[in-house]
């Protein structure tokens, strides 16, 4: 994995990542790695039942352990204002009233927290706490629980189901997806430190420092500006860092209680229960078409698991409304409470789940019609307009993605007849599916500080979770100003930097590119004003006319009018130049619909004796607008496909039905795709700028890479074997 093979020449030449050296040498600090004087450690003791009530807690043995500073339970907790009532808890949007209830909602729920001088002492003491419970029967099996939960209308019915009740071609099938976890390499951890003047400093593993500020401010009822959050380097997120979890709240409580800085790092197995997951889902898709393959209507039903204390609904049916022209559409959804932690957004949330059912159902229809599934999709894509709101798409190249992907995999080699290609014990099949995601954009700010030697630091509070945002910011700053890249430094992930939203929902680059463009203009304007004191040609110069270099500024005129930075600094008596600017979506959002898309093509081999599925080729053609930097962009997609292979073939969190505990909740026990399970992933980009999305023309790529990957694999397995498998993961036992 990790290699990319693209025939398109991207706008930005592939560069190494700005944070690459810091990350691989260990110089870049993750949340748990900061050193704070006098820091101690907090460790959670988790419930050993999955449902019930705490009856008694015996702390004496734990208290004897050397170095123990405090033990917090629901009986002695320092009251947290945001957990004082149901209403307040709802407002915090935190969900779990940590140590403010005697109720146990899921196994491994934090029910006590030991604070001690060392991690070892805290861990040992936590193991000595004894609880007695009044135990209830937990519900953890989604497949058993969901049939009794009724569906509700989701959005408006489009047209009418009656209109296609006599469709000559109908597919009506049910699809299941097991719950799966993000588990990024970096552990979820928080260091909390109250300063002498009652300010709170947090080093947190998060995808959004401003979200952490806001959430902690709400829970503890302290002014947001009194909280400073660092998340300068992030070792992966996949959505698990989009919320504040118990480690954040626990660390703040502990630091307050012992009046010392506290580090709280979850263990790997705690991360399986306490930092969200993609919930299990059930879907039913009823798809109607005429005999030529024109879609007449779709009825999409979906349910997903959630926790018993917090409703989390996936947007399972959203994608159904975007990709194809369905004149008639009905969507229904509901959620199924389970005695598990709360699920959360995980890469391609909702759409990834929905696309599995819809893209498999379309594949099933293609065999029923005896029609090429590429041709069937091309016939039904909604290219020009969003079929839901009828707005024109700002740009939509899903048709080009699928056409190019078909060429790359040499789709002609595929046989329409399943099971027709064999090599010894292996059956060979080809599969296709597509993905789509709304190309969103949020408000963001950026700043630039420029030194006399031309060094520019471009800053924003936005994090870079490994997506290459910082590298893209460097590329864009170079493009917008002309300054050589080695003079452009990047500062990210700190709440005192110019404010920006979380890196999530594939909005990071899209949002930040507007801010970078605006701040580059502000800098050029500022430099032109200073230069005007030396050379009047700069008076009233527009940012677009100004060009920077490592030594000075010039105008895009015949005469060039070069003014050196040294002169600018001297004449204006400067120490440095600092500018800031903000940018966000505008009226274009009312006028246009925005999307990014992918087409996935895979070739699989299925062993007829062992049931093993090998993904032999994986091709993804993506429309992400302008590709600002090809290398991290292709890394994004290839990483997503490794995740998609895991989703299709391996990943599944199991909860023991009687005890409610997760089985195999570590990186040895949880089966996920590694390099050996993935071929060299071939990624190509359409690389055409979106004219309206933002000044860079780049649309997000983070989510859409995984959407459509799992159904492409399932469809290829059918093409290889003639066995239609509708229950992920498709493990060998199901294949045989
Ligand atoms: Mo993404 S699931 O918004 O990190």
Q: What percent of the chain has pLDDT over 70?
A: 98
pLDDT digits (tens, 9 = 90+) for 59-86: 999 999 999 999 999 999 999 999 999 9
Task: State which of 182, 315, 318, 345 you would mutate to test the pocket of ligand 1, scoring each by most atoms of that ligand within 8 A of its C-beta.
Answer: 345
pTM (2 decimals)? 0.96
Q: In CATH, what number is assigned to the domain containing residue 78?
A: 3.90.1170.50
The per-residue pLDDT for 8 is 35
Structure tokens at 603: 């070739």
Q: Is residue 230 part of a domain?
A: yes
Q: 508 C-alpha vs ligand 1 centroid, how far in Å?
A: 10
Q: ipTM greater than 0.90, yes or no?
A: yes
Q: State whether 576 and 658 are in the same domain.
A: no
Q: For the chain, what's the residue count?
A: 736
Q: State whether 573 and 713 are in the same domain.
A: no
Q: Is residue 167 part of a domain?
A: no
Q: State whether 383 and 286 are in the same domain.
A: yes
Task: State which of 237, 352, 705, 707 you would mutate to test the pocket of ligand 1, scoring each by most atoms of that ligand within 8 A of its C-beta.
Answer: 237
Of the three residues 559, 584, 609, the one that is the final residue of a domain is: 584
The per-residue pLDDT for 145 is 98
Query: Ligand 1: which atom is nearest the Cα of residue 504?
Result: 3
Query: Ligand 1: which atom is nearest the Cα of residue 347?
Result: 2
CA distance 210 to 629: 26
Q: State whether 723 and 667 are in the same domain.
A: yes
Domains identified in the chain, total number: 3
Q: 242 C-alpha vs ligand 1 centroid, how far in Å?
A: 7
Q: 21 C-alpha vs ligand 1 centroid, how far in Å?
A: 25
CA distance 397 to 8: 15
The angle that helices 351-369 and 373-380 make with each other, rounded to 10 degrees, is: 110
Q: 218 C-alpha vs ligand 1 centroid, how far in Å?
A: 23
DSSP for 165-215?
Answer: TT-SEEEEEEEEE--B----SSPPEEEEEE-TTS-EEEEE--S-HHHHHHH
Mean pLDDT for the chain overall: 95
Q: Which residues sit opposite 579 in a β-bridge?
A: 448
- Comparing CA positions, the residue from 411, 347, 413 lying closest to residue 373 is 411
Q: Is the Cα torsion angle 78, 81, 86, 90 positive or negative in sign? A: negative
Query: Ligand 1: which atom is nearest the Cα of residue 702?
Result: 1
- Comparing CA positions, the residue from 615, 611, 586, 584 lying closest to residue 498 is 584
Q: 283 C-alpha vs ligand 1 centroid, how far in Å?
A: 22
Q: State whether 569 and 603 are in the same domain.
A: no
Q: 347 C-alpha vs ligand 1 centroid, how far in Å?
A: 5
Q: Which residues sit opposite 114 in a β-bridge?
A: 43, 71
Structure tokens at 80: 């947290």
In Å, how far are 330, 475, 491, 583 from 527, measured between CA atoms?
57, 20, 21, 20
Query: Ligand 1: which atom is nearest the Cα of residue 238?
Result: 4
Q: State whether 133 and 60 are in the same domain.
A: yes
Q: State whether 400 and 453 are in the same domain.
A: no
Q: Is residue 411 part of a domain?
A: yes
Structure tokens at 340: 């598990």
Q: State whether 618 and 512 are in the same domain.
A: no
Backbone angles phi, psi at 415, to 5 degrees: -105, 135
pLDDT digits (tens, 9 = 90+) for 146-170: 999 999 999 999 999 999 989 999 9
Alpha helices by DSSP H, listed for 482-615, are 508-532, 565-572, 588-591
Q: In CATH, what number is assigned to the domain containing residue 509?
A: 3.30.365.10
Three-state SS string across 46-96, please?
A: ECCCCCEEEEEEECHHHHHCCCEEEEEECCCCCCCHHHCCHHHHHHHCCCC
Q: 64 C-alpha vs ligand 1 centroid, how far in Å?
A: 43
Query: Ligand 1: which atom is nearest the Cα of residue 349?
Result: 2
- Comparing CA positions, the residue from 117, 719, 686, 703 lying closest to residue 415 is 719
Task: State which of 208, 239, 350, 441 you would mutate to test the pocket of ligand 1, scoring each by most atoms of that ligand within 8 A of its C-beta.
Answer: 239
pLDDT digits (tens, 9 = 90+) for 356-407: 999 999 999 999 999 999 999 999 999 999 999 999 999 999 999 999 999 9
Task: State which of 349, 350, 442, 700 you would mutate to test the pocket of ligand 1, scoring each by most atoms of that ligand within 8 A of its C-beta.
Answer: 349
CA distance 639 to 473: 21
Give, as one character, the DSSP assignment of residue 625.
B
pLDDT digits (tens, 9 = 90+) for 295-337: 999 999 999 999 999 999 999 999 999 999 999 999 999 999 9
User: Pairing mode, if any, of strands 200-204 and 328-338?
Assistant: unpaired
Query: Ligand 1: which atom is nearest the Cα of residue 505?
Result: 3
Three-state DSSP class for 119?
A: helix
The per-residue pLDDT for 16 is 81
Average pLDDT over residues 126-144: 98
Query: Ligand 1: which atom is nearest the Cα of residue 348?
Result: 2
Q: 505 C-alpha vs ligand 1 centroid, how far in Å?
A: 5
Smallest CA separation from ligand 1 atom 4, residue: 239
Range with the poorest average pLDDT among 4-8, 220-224, 626-630: 4-8
Does 110 score more than 80 pLDDT? Answer: yes
Ligand 1 is surrounded, with C-beta below 6 A, by: 207, 237-239, 242, 345-347, 349, 504-505, 702-703
Q: State whether 431 and 557 are in the same domain.
A: no
Q: Which residues contact 525 (CB under 8 A, 6 or more apart)?
A: 543, 546
Of the three residues 584, 617, 641, the one that is the final residue of a domain is: 584
pLDDT digits (tens, 9 = 90+) for 253-279: 999 999 999 999 999 999 999 999 999
Q: Is residue 673 part of a domain?
A: yes
Q: 236 C-alpha vs ligand 1 centroid, how far in Å?
A: 10
pLDDT digits (tens, 9 = 90+) for 713-729: 999 999 999 999 999 99
Task: State which of 181, 347, 467, 644 you would mutate to test the pocket of ligand 1, scoring each by most atoms of that ligand within 8 A of its C-beta.
Answer: 347
Structure tokens at 252: 């703040």
The per-residue pLDDT for 297 is 97
CA distance 290 to 619: 30
The per-residue pLDDT for 273 is 96
Q: Is residue 19 part of a domain?
A: no
Q: State whether 298 and 400 are in the same domain.
A: yes
Query: Ligand 1: which atom is nearest the Cα of residue 506?
Result: 3
Does 14 score more than 60 pLDDT? Answer: no
Q: What percent of the chain has pLDDT over 90?
A: 96
Q: Is residue 150 part of a domain?
A: no
Backbone angles phi, psi at 571, to 5 degrees: -60, -35
Q: Is residue 155 part of a domain?
A: no
CA distance 112 to 45: 5
CA distance 310 to 336: 11
Q: 178 C-alpha vs ligand 1 centroid, how far in Å?
A: 19
Q: Is residue 614 part of a domain?
A: yes
The per-residue pLDDT for 119 is 98
Q: CA torsion, points 498, 501, 503, 506, in degrees to nearest 10? A: -120
Residue 13 vs residue 575, higher pLDDT: 575
In Å, how far are 156, 196, 220 from 193, measured between CA atoms?
48, 10, 14
- Give the confidence band of 11 by pLDDT, cuts at 50, 70, 90: very low
Structure tokens at 401: 């993605």
Query: Ligand 1: which atom is nearest the Cα of residue 344?
Result: 2
Q: 353 C-alpha vs ligand 1 centroid, how far in Å?
A: 14
Query: Ligand 1: which atom is nearest the Cα of residue 465?
Result: 4
Task: State which of 205, 318, 437, 505 you would mutate to test the pocket of ligand 1, scoring each by most atoms of that ligand within 8 A of its C-beta.
Answer: 505
Query: Ligand 1: which atom is nearest the Cα of residue 239?
Result: 4
Domain limits for position 405:
281-440+590-735
Q: How many CA atoms lie within 13 A of 153 on its CB side?
A: 6
Q: 371 C-alpha vs ligand 1 centroid, how far in Å?
A: 35
Q: 501 C-alpha vs ligand 1 centroid, how far in Å?
A: 12
CA distance 509 to 690: 13
Q: State whether 508 and 552 are in the same domain.
A: yes
Q: Which residue has the tokens 């401010």?
A: 217
Using DSSP, how many helices (H) and how many strands (E) does the chain show?
A: 18, 30
Q: 159 C-alpha vs ligand 1 centroid, how far in Å?
A: 32
Residue 562 burial (CB count, 10 A): 15
Query: Ligand 1: which atom is nearest the Cα of residue 240?
Result: 4
Q: 568 C-alpha vs ligand 1 centroid, how far in Å?
A: 44
- Give the confidence band of 15 by pLDDT, cuts at 50, 70, 90: low
Q: Which residues contact 467 (CB under 8 A, 6 or more apart)?
A: 503, 508, 509, 632, 636, 702
Query: From the centroid of its chain, how far is CA 235?
Result: 13
Of the three residues 584, 609, 627, the one that is the final residue of a domain is: 584
Say if CB 125 and CB 113 are below 8 A apart.
no
Q: 239 C-alpha vs ligand 1 centroid, how far in Å?
A: 4
Structure tokens at 580: 């800031």
Q: State whether 434 and 466 are in the same domain.
A: no
In Å, how far are 358, 448, 487, 522 from 578, measured between CA atoms?
51, 6, 16, 9
């Amino acid at each position: 994995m990790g290699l990319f093979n693209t025939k398109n020449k991207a706008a930005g030449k592939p560069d190494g990542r700005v944070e690459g050296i810091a990350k691989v040498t260990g110089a870049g600090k993750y949340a748990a790695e900061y050193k704070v004087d006098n820091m101690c450690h907090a460790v959670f003791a988790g419930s050993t039942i999955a449902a019930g009530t705490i009856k008694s807690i015996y702390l004496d043995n734990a208290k004897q352990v050397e170095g123990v500073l405090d033990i917090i339970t629901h009986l002695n907790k320092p009251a947290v204002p945001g957990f004082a009532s149901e209403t307040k808890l709802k407002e915090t949007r935190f969900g779990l009233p940590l140590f403010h209830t005697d109720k146990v909602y899921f196994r491994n729920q934090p029910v006590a927290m030991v604070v001690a001088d060392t991690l070892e002492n805290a861990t040992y003491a936590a193991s000595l706490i004894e609880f007695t419970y009044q135990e209830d029967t937990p519900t953890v099996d989604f497949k058993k629980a969901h049939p009794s939960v009724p569906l509700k209308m989701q959005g408006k019915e489009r047209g009418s189901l009656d209109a296609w009740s006599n469709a000559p071609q109908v597919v009506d099938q049910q699809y299941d997806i097991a719950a799966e976890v993000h588990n990024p390499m970096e552990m979820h951890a928080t260091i909390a430190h109250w300063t002498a003047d009652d300010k709170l400093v947090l080093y947190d593993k998060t995808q959004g420092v401003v979200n952490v500020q806001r959430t902690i401010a709400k829970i503890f009822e302290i002014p947001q500006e009194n909280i400073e959050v660092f998340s300068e380097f992030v070792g992966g997120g996949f959505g698990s860092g989009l919320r504040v979890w118990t480690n954040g709240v626990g660390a703040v409580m502990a630091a307050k209680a012992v009046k010392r800085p506290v580090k709280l790092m979850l263990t790997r197995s705690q991360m399986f229960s306490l930092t969200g997951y993609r919930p299990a889902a059930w879907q039913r898709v009823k798809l109607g078409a005429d005999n030529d393959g024109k879609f007449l209507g779709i009825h999409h039903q979906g349910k997903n698991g959630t926790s018993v204390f917090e409703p989390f609904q996936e947007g399972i049916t959203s994608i159904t409304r975007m990709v194809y022209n369905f004149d008639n559409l009905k969507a229904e959804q509901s959620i199924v409470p389970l005695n598990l932690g709360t699920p959360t957004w995980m890469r391609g949330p909702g759409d990834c789940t929905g696309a599995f059912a819809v893209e498999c159902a379309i594949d099933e229809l293609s065999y029923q019609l005896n029609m090429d599934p590429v041709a069937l999709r091309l016939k039904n894509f909604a290219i020009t307009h969003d079929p839901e709101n009828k707005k024109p798409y700002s740009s939509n190249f899903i048709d080009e993605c699928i056409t190019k992907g078909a060429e790359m995999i040499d789709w002609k080699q595929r046989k329409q007849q399943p099971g027709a290609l064999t090599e010894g014990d292996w059956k060979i099949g080809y599969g296709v599916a597509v993905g789509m995601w709304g190309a969103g954009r949020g408000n963001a700010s950026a700043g630039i500080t420029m030194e006399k030697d031309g060094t520019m630091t471009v800053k924003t509070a936005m994090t870079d979770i490994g997506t290459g945002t910082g590298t893209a910011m460097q590329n864009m700053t170079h493009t917008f100003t002309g300054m050589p890249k080695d003079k452009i430094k990047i500062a990210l992930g700190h709440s005192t930097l110019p404010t920006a939203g979380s890196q999530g929902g594939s909005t990071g680059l899209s949002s930040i590119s507007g801010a970078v463009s605006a701040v580059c203009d502000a800098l050029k304007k500022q430099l032109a004003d200073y230069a005007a004191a030396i050379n009047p040609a700069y008076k009233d110069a527009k940012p677009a006319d100004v060009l920077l270099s490592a030594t000075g500024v010039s105008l895009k005129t015949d005469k060039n009018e070069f003014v050196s930075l040294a002169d600018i600094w001297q004449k204006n008596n400067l120490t440095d130049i600092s500018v800031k600017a903000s940018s966000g979506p505008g009226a274009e959002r009312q006028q246009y619909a925005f999307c990014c898309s992918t087409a996935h093509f895979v070739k699989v081999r299925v062993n007829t004796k062992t049931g093993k599925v090998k993904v032999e080729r994986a091709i993804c053609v993506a429309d992400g607008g302008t590709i600002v930097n090809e290398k991290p962009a292709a890394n994004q997609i290839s990483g997503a496909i490794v995740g998609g292979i895991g989703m299709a073939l391996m990943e599944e969190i199991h909860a023991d039905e009687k005890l409610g505990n997760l089985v195999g909740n570590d990186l040895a026990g949880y089966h996920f795709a590694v390099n050996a399970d993935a071929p060299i992933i071939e990624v190509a980009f359409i690389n055409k700028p979106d004219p309206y999305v933002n000044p860079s023309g780049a649309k997000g790529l983070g989510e859409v890479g995984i959407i459509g990957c799992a159904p492409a694999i399932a469809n290829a397995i059918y093409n290889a074997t003639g066995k239609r498998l509708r229950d992920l993961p498709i493990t060998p036992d199901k294949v045989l």
